[in-house]
Structure 1
Amino acid sequence: MQGLKRAQTLMGRRWAIIGMLIVLAAVLMLRSLGNNTIGYPDADRILMDGVFMADVMRDMPLGAPWGYAQAYFVQYPALSIGYRPPFFPAVEGLFNIIFGINMWSSRLALFAFVVTGLCYWVKLIEQVADRRVAAWSGALWVSTPFLAQWGWYTMAELAVLGMTIAAIYYLYRWVETERLTDAFLMAVFIGLAGWSKQTAAFLALVVVGYLLARGKLLWAVRRPGHWGAFALLLVLAVPLALMTIAFGDQNIHQSVGQGDADSVSRWSLANWGIHLKTLAEMHLTLPVLILAGAGLIVAGVKRQRQAVLPLVAVVSIFVFFSLLMGKNPRYPIFWIPFWCFFATLPLALADLRRGLKVAYQGALIVIVAFQAYSLYQREPAFVSGYDQAAKIAVREANTTGIFIDAFNNGYFTYFVRQADKDRSHYVFRGDKLLSSSSISTQHWLEVHMTKAEEIRKAFDDLAVSIVVVESINYAEVPIHDILRQMLEGPGFERIATIDIASNRVMSSVTDMPRFEDQQLYIYRYLNAKSEMSGEITLRLPVVGQEVSRSFEKNDKDR
């Protein structure tokens, strides 16, 4: 009984609830924190974005920021800033400056957003419902395997989630208190969410939907002070929109565009069922799905006012992401906390007997434990060997140029920058110089070279002395096979072979090889030129741009 009383006392204190949720989140999301083989597609680009922002903060290129960014991409071609917004990478960059360039500092930066989200979640839900619901719903979504796993990789979704919860908190406070300060803070956090990832635009539907549900849309529009908050939001949103239009060819194609040839029509019944199927099969565990459905029904029958804001959030997210052509299960992740709210909402019923509440909480303890166990049964995606290859390449390169032809080129580039303390080397990618494509190897494919002589000339012009390739030509474009044949011929010496260990396939595209079925080969170019000359052009079909750089003799500076 004493233990139960102590637990109830802790559950009544906000700081204790937040502390316990942060500990739970840390145990689940910071798993294998020091393991630099953990990786996921796109996470490598966001890692490199963080390093770029750290270098920007060190160098402060205020005189020519665009030229600096272009030159940086030529040197370390693994950036996605422009295609992706820079707010999370900026925070990541601060952590890289403080703790060094390493994956664990970037993961800690991401975890800071999770902590922010948890703090605002508890504050929001204890006002919408009560502190007990805040605690248990927080524990449910933090331990939800599909959501928690993104703490293992430097993906932007959890950063957006943290800012989203903060924005919705201030939306609720603004409507409840009618304080102008809350309207401005709401605008700030909506802006920060958008500058973390553009998909945070769904918050516009949440704001309008909640104002309509509360009958305050005209109040929001007519009060003069609110226009200042709306103006602030525009100031934050317009540059982001312009950046997305300028650098977001692929973003636009897979969101508001028509999508790929195999995409379903956005107005078809099949399209509107995709995320509901994802919710049932991937986003929620079966116990939470059942409780969430029951909680939603109870809220409707009891006409619980507490359900209005979470329901608006769920519907807004469903509508927004159903209208987008891209249907990655990760995209609508933001509705998971609100479904967890419905799973715990019966605890807020005034007429629910104490014994039933105790039993319900006992069931929630079991579910949280089950979800945590299920998460630990999952092995994080990993690929080993690229960090070792990068260290060898930097150590053995006797010129500035290092060439990489590999699917996992982003992580290799990141590890080169990590090892290249004085930033004296350039990484040149085969999938930019030999051929280029967007997202998959055949999408918007362009072939830039067809002969071994062209490759050798590029090596000479770019002072390449070390070449790293995956043993399998993942691109299935002939010029990449020609490269591998050339490397086994005269003028090249294989200096290292690294076995790749991994539990990943190279891509979700059918028949793509597994990483573990190949090796990394490292070659020395015996006739390497000592200085770079000529011009390099990198095609970036993802953003619809080209980046060029001319090199003169003795040109080693960005």
Structure 2
Amino acid sequence: MPRPDTLAIHAPERLLAWALVLVCVALLFAQAPHGGAFYWSDSPRHALNGVFVMDMIKAMPIDDPTGYAYRYYAQYPALTILFYPPLFYAISAPFYAVLGVSHETALLVVAIHYLALGLGCWRLARYWLPAAPSLAFAVLVLWLPEVAFWGRQVMLEVPAFAFLVWSAVAVMAYLRGGPPRWLYLGAALLVLGMYTKISVAYMAVVYAALIAQRDGWEVLRNRHHWWVAGLSVVGLLPLAVLTLKFGQANLQSVTGVADAVASRASWQGWVWYLQQIPAQAGWPLTLLGLAGAIMAAWRRIPGLGFWWLGFAVGYLFFSSIDLKEARHSVFLLPSVVFFAVLCVHTVVPPRLGRWAHAALAMLVLATVGLTVWTRPVFYVQGYAQAAAEVARLAPRDSTVMFSGYRDGSFVFSMRAREDRRDLQVMRADKLLLGVAVRRELGVEQKGLTEAEIAEAINANGVHYVVMQPGFWIDLEAMQRFERVMASDQFEAVARIATPANHNAHETELVIYRNKGAVSPRRQSGDIELRIINRSISAQ
């Protein structure tokens, strides 16, 4: 079989790849929840961070950027701009500026990255496979249950994935005899991927090992290797500073978390991600991928070091992190898909090529069906409606208090109301509790009495409260809050259903009007940010 990297990729194949990936992305995102129906708590925060970048560029607070950020958080307390790498938010900002602030705009930015991911997968596979199997590989990666579930939300996995794949395309071009500029490009794209999601950093080890395998000790004599390494380190210094200064929770997730599903100190922690692969890729792909890996090892098929090392190094990296979630390891799944496609392509004799194509088509259809029927993207509706109702009712320059699990969804929906930029959102949990990133890692109850809670609500200029009934009522502080809402000082003026396609925490939101003596909104105050272990003063 001729080496695919030596064959020209003709225009018809490029057009077919673009058309096929575009259709897949369009079909995928036609099913994506929108209109503020966020599911995962990080998703509206990622969306809001991009809005903040746009707003900050428009405001140009050169004299006091830190104060501007603090004031912004005080108004929209779901901002996490420094907790995560900033590139996705910088890319999102111009889209918001042109298309407006909405859930749909944020999804469009993710969809563009999804398109880049699909095209990158096709181009990467062409180093080893002919056109048809490479196209199948790309489509399969796009429709993997785990990728499609998180990739159709405003999350960082797919954007980082896109940078990672194109980085691999460039580095493979260098490894296959291309000029050094490909290595510089590959390193630059990997750095950009890290500025999107730090965990893609493991691929640098893979690249270094592949280059060392090719060049031997000569790798140390090549000045381009030293330049690439040096420039990469310099480029990553700002990210390192941000992570050390504001990403303590991320660092803690590596060293140890109290609620880890499987500790890295146990054998369960080192097989946990293996156990997730059937659900992430589906059983057909998983079994074929295993068969393809065994076949490749048995036949000693050369030139597959990228796939072996990519999976092995990545698996060790993610398993060594104490916080385990299946979405973290989506970057390992292309290896599973590649070996599955390789198995079909290799086992079927060349004279029966049509049968191989038919088998790949069946595999694609099986994966698409599995994703559509078993892994729809979760959603919870009602938050945009609640924001719209509060925007209609609330007096100008007042505060809206929110109490509920999906505070990010409500805060983003409030910022999306361009007609009510005068309103400020206050989270009840910030008043009543001290939560370390998430409740499972610790919560402190501040001990305010019911009278003190009612007084604090008045003092902060709160005319309306949006509450999720039953939210954390196992805590005494939240029980007191609900009793305050049931007092004569407050009256329910609207009940908004929150329909969902999964077993969500909530079923409705209740909007209360404060009939008490409400003071003008405070112009300053201290806010505790346990996620970065500091308190800020917003004036």
Q: Report the 3-state secondary structure (helix = DSSP H, G, I; strand = E; otherwise coil) of the residue aligned with 1:36.
A: coil
Q: Which residue of 2 aligns with 1:6?
A: none
Cα deviation digits, residues 419-440 of structure 1 (max 9, x gap): 1435211100011121121343
Q: Which residue of 1 aligns with 2:454?
A: 456
Question: Structure 2: how far apart are the matches of 1:383 and 1:263?
Answer: 25
Alpha-carbon distance, 1:402 to partner: 0.7
Residues matched between the structures, number: 529
Alpha-carbon distance, 1:530 to partner: 5.0
Which of these residues, 291, 294, 308, is aligned with residue 294 of structure 1? 291
Q: Is the 8 A contact 2:259 2:440 kept in 1?
A: no
Alpha-carbon distance, 1:283 to partner: 1.5
Q: Which residue of 2 aligns with 1:481?
A: 479
Q: Is the 8 A contact 1:39 1:381 kept in 2?
A: yes
Residues 221 and 456 from structure 1, CA distance in 2 versus in 1: closer, same or farther, beyond 3 angstroms?
farther
Q: In the alignment, is residue 436 of structure 1 matched against residue 415 of structure 2?
A: no
Bigger mean CA deviation after superposition, 318-327 or 55-64 = 55-64
Q: Is the 8 A contact 1:38 1:380 kept in 2?
A: no
Q: Is the 8 A contact 1:465 1:525 kept in 2?
A: yes
Q: Is the 8 A contact 2:171 2:183 kept in 1?
A: yes
Question: Structure 2: how far apart are the matches of 1:197 and 1:481?
Answer: 38
Alpha-carbon distance, 1:348 to partner: 5.5
Q: Which residue of 2 aligns with 1:240?
A: 239
Question: Structure 1: how far apart are the matches of 2:83 and 2:340?
Answer: 36
Q: Which residue of 2 aligns with 1:279?
A: 277
Q: Report the 3-state secondary structure (helix = DSSP H, G, I; strand = E; otherwise coil) of the residue aligned with 2:467.
A: strand
Q: Report the 3-state secondary structure (helix = DSSP H, G, I; strand = E; otherwise coil) of the residue aligned with 1:497.
A: strand
Question: Structure 2: how far apart are the matches of 1:135 and 1:547?
Answer: 51
Residues 461 and 420 from structure 1, CA distance in 2 versus in 1: closer, same or farther, beyond 3 angstroms?
farther
Aligned pairs for 1:89-488 (under 5 A) are 89-177=89-177, 179-212=179-212, 214-216=213-215, 218-255=217-254, 257-260=255-258, 264-280=262-278, 282-346=279-343, 349=346, 353-377=349-373, 378-398=375-395, 399-421=397-419, 423-474=421-472, 476-488=474-486
Residues 26 and 332 from structure 1, CA distance in 2 versus in 1: closer, same or farther, beyond 3 angstroms?
same
Q: Which residue of 2 aligns with 1:520?
A: 509
Q: Report the 3-state secondary structure (helix = DSSP H, G, I; strand = E; otherwise coil) of the residue aligned with 1:13.
A: helix
Q: Which residue of 2 aligns with 1:553?
A: none
Q: Is the 8 A contact 1:382 1:502 kept in 2?
A: yes
Alpha-carbon distance, 1:34 to partner: 4.6
What is the one-letter code of the residue matched to 1:234?
V
Alpha-carbon distance, 1:528 to partner: 4.7
What is the one-letter code of the residue matched to 2:510?
Y
Alpha-carbon distance, 1:206 to partner: 1.8
Q: Given the two structures, how large is their TM-score scaled by the length of structure 2?
A: 0.92
Question: Structure 2: how far apart are the matches of 1:97 and 1:226?
Answer: 40
Q: Which residue of 2 aligns with 1:554?
A: none
Q: Which residue of 2 aligns with 1:3?
A: none
Cα deviation digits, residues 385-424 of structure 1 (max 9, x gap): 2111111112211142110011111100011111143521
Alpha-carbon distance, 1:365 to partner: 1.0
Bigger mean CA deviation after superposition, 188-197 or 306-315 = 306-315
Q: Is the 8 A contact 1:29 1:151 kept in 2?
A: no
Residues 189 and 231 from structure 1, CA distance in 2 versus in 1: closer, same or farther, beyond 3 angstroms?
same
Alpha-carbon distance, 1:449 to partner: 4.2
Alpha-carbon distance, 1:275 to partner: 0.8
Question: Structure 1: how far apart are the matches of 2:312 and 2:414?
Answer: 44
Q: Which residue of 2 aligns with 1:4?
A: none
Residues 347 and 216 from structure 1, CA distance in 2 versus in 1: closer, same or farther, beyond 3 angstroms?
farther
Q: Is the 8 A contact 1:126 1:132 kept in 2?
A: no
Identity of aligned residues (%): 23
Question: Structure 1: how far apart are the matches of 2:51 and 2:474?
Answer: 31
Alpha-carbon distance, 1:457 to partner: 3.0
Q: Is the 8 A contact 1:14 1:131 kept in 2?
A: no
Alpha-carbon distance, 1:292 to partner: 1.0
Q: Report the 3-state secondary structure (helix = DSSP H, G, I; strand = E; otherwise coil) of the residue aligned with 2:416.
A: helix
Aligned pairs for 1:79-90 (under 5 A) are 79-90=79-90
Q: Report the 3-state secondary structure (helix = DSSP H, G, I; strand = E; otherwise coil) of the residue aligned with 2:492.
A: strand
Which of these residues, 515, 540, 547, is aligned with residue 529 of structure 2? 540
Cα deviation digits, residues 263-286 of structure 1 (max 9, x gap): 544243222111111113x11211
Q: Report the 3-state secondary structure (helix = DSSP H, G, I; strand = E; otherwise coil) of the residue aligned with 2:323.
A: coil
Alpha-carbon distance, 1:319 to partner: 1.0
What is the one-letter code of the residue matched to 2:536?
V
Residues 474 and 505 from structure 1, CA distance in 2 versus in 1: closer, same or farther, beyond 3 angstroms?
farther
Alpha-carbon distance, 1:443 to partner: 2.3
Question: Structure 1: how far apart are the matches of 2:141 and 2:458?
Answer: 54
Question: Structure 2: how far apart are the matches of 1:237 and 1:116?
Answer: 23
Question: Structure 2: how far apart are the matches of 1:201 and 1:218?
Answer: 24
Q: Report the 3-state secondary structure (helix = DSSP H, G, I; strand = E; otherwise coil) of the residue aligned with 1:153.
A: coil
Q: Report the 3-state secondary structure (helix = DSSP H, G, I; strand = E; otherwise coil) of the residue aligned with 1:468.
A: strand
Q: Report the 3-state secondary structure (helix = DSSP H, G, I; strand = E; otherwise coil) of the residue aligned with 1:381.
A: coil
Q: Is the 8 A contact 2:387 2:414 kept in 1?
A: yes
Residues 335 and 28 from structure 1, CA distance in 2 versus in 1: closer, same or farther, beyond 3 angstroms?
same
Question: Structure 1: how far apart are the matches of 2:413 and 2:140?
Answer: 36
Q: Is the 8 A contact 2:403 2:428 kept in 1?
A: yes
Q: Report the 3-state secondary structure (helix = DSSP H, G, I; strand = E; otherwise coil) of the residue aligned with 2:532.
A: coil
Question: Structure 2: how far apart are the matches of 1:515 and 1:97?
Answer: 33
Question: Structure 1: how far apart are the matches of 2:401 and 2:259?
Answer: 34
Alpha-carbon distance, 1:26 to partner: 2.2
Q: Is the 8 A contact 1:537 1:546 kept in 2?
A: yes
Alpha-carbon distance, 1:253 to partner: 1.2
Cα deviation digits, residues 324-359 of structure 1 (max 9, x gap): 11110110101112211111124664x952344322
Question: Structure 2: how far apart are the matches of 1:319 and 1:75?
Answer: 42
Question: Structure 2: how far apart are the matches of 1:93 and 1:504?
Answer: 31
Alpha-carbon distance, 1:442 to partner: 4.7
Residues 285 and 477 from structure 1, CA distance in 2 versus in 1: closer, same or farther, beyond 3 angstroms?
same
Alpha-carbon distance, 1:504 to partner: 3.7
Q: Given the two structures, how large is their TM-score scaled by the length of structure 1?
A: 0.89
Aligned pairs for 1:28-43 (under 5 A) are 28-32=28-32, 34-43=34-43
Cα deviation digits, residues 110-133 of structure 1 (max 9, x gap): 111111122222222212333233
Residues 265 and 216 from structure 1, CA distance in 2 versus in 1: closer, same or farther, beyond 3 angstroms?
farther
Question: Structure 1: how far apart are the matches of 2:452 and 2:326?
Answer: 42
Bigger mean CA deviation after superposition, 199-208 or 76-85 = 199-208
Q: For the aligned residues, what is the CA RMSD?
A: 2.3
Cα deviation digits, residues 109-156 of structure 1 (max 9, x gap): 011111112222222221233323311111211121221122321111
